[in-house]
Structure 1
Amino acid sequence: MEGIGLTIIIYLIGLFILYIIIETAVRRGINSSIIGLYLENKYGIQDTREKKNSFLDDDLNKD
């Protein structure tokens, strides 16, 4: 019974890692494609996830 639970956990972790890899590849592929660049230029559509500022941008040590 313990082996089955461990197997399921490892399987789910593997699926999650695979999801992250595929999602990143598709997003980068669409953004760098000709159609993606056309839509960005024509409609001003941009990926907002990459433009967010972090709290580290206003760090006091930055000065």
Structure 2
Amino acid sequence: MPKNGEFTKETIDHISKLALIDLSEEEKEKLSKQLGDILSYFKKLDTLDTRNIKPTTHPI
């Protein structure tokens, strides 16, 4: 997993091969940005203070 929030072309190539999908260069660039955005969002969630939140087994 990238530390800087960006997925390299090589990482995207590897992911697409594992998923058995062919991606155009445009799709690879788009996927790289989307995965980076998702990773950044998870990093943001990781900083939330949840000490006073009771654990649950169901999200709703």
Q: Is the pair's TM-score, using the shorter chain for normalization, greater than 0.5?
A: no
The structure showing larger relative contact order (alpha-carbon pairs under 8 Å, at least 6 residues apart) is: 2
Give the structure-2-normalised TM-score.
0.44
